Amino acid sequence: MRCRGRAVALAGCRIVETRGARLNGGDEAFASLLSAAQAGAPWASTQIWVDHAPAVAAFLRARGSREPDDLTSEVFLTVFERLRDFTGDRAAFRSFVFSVAYRRLVDELRMRSRRGETTEWASERDPRRASSAEDEATDRVGDARARALLDELPPDQRDVMVLRIVADLTVEQVAEVLHKRVGAVKALQRRALENLRKKMASNPYLFETRGR
């Protein structure tokens, strides 16, 4: 199967790749980094931020956070507060970080719902957007048309797809973040991919590169 354009990756090309496998590498180096951060070394905490914050910000932005950069800061305040109690490898730490991010996102969306806010934040309409975080999101998810397709998915399917593509989590990690069974996550991913394929089949030019 040949992928045409970045956005077509949403139909499964990126899902079948083994990007998550790289999380198994570098566990020894991560263990040293974690130990230093838990001991209070500023450089180690900074490195943890550098390694994970861009993906967290991209995930929050893709899922409609009103202030994704501020929320990312809140996420890592919690992460660092709980750092001494964390045990596990690099993959487990990534699951931990995104579990915190997901809970903070749910809190924000719930608060906005109580206030009667129903319009999701859209990066292309916000002049304050940070190019670095936006570039990260664009690189992983595709252009605005691809993100719009994700927004049309049912919430549970959308959560799975954004965590898989933007956060680059494995199925097992997504299950941990969402507190679902691995089989349930696989089923949601399968249904989401089928929905996306149907949308693209109905409009084969949806993801053609601009200017062609």
Note the pLDDT of residue 208: 47
Report how far residue 196's alpha carbon sits from residue 179's, in angstroms, rounded to the nearest whole number.
Answer: 24
User: Does position 101 have pLDDT exceeding 80, yes or no?
Assistant: yes
Note the pLDDT of residue 203: 64
- Considering all CA atoms of the chain, what is the largest pairwise distance in Å, rounded to the nearest integer? 55
Note the pLDDT of residue 117: 55
Q: What class, spelled out in words, does domain 25-117+126-202 have in CATH?
A: mainly alpha
Report how far residue 132's alpha carbon sits from residue 57's, in angstroms, rounded to the nearest whole number.
Answer: 10
In whole angstroms, how far apart are CA 25 and each of 22, 47, 90, 113, 211?
5, 17, 8, 41, 40
Question: How many C-beta atoms lie closer than 10 Å to residue 113's C-beta?
Answer: 10
pLDDT tens by residue, 29-44 = 999 999 999 999 999 9
Report how far residue 8's alpha carbon sits from residue 4's, in angstroms, rounded to the nearest whole number.
Answer: 6
**Which tokens go with 201?**
């089949």
In contact, 11 and 193? CB cutoff 8 Å? yes
**DSSP letter assigned to residue 115:** T
Note the pLDDT of residue 3: 42
pLDDT tens by residue, 57-68 = 999 998 889 999
pLDDT tens by residue, 127-151 = 334 444 444 444 444 456 667 788 8
In the predicted model, what is the mean pLDDT of the chain? 78
| Greatest mean pLDDT among 3-7, 101-105, 165-169, 197-201 | 101-105
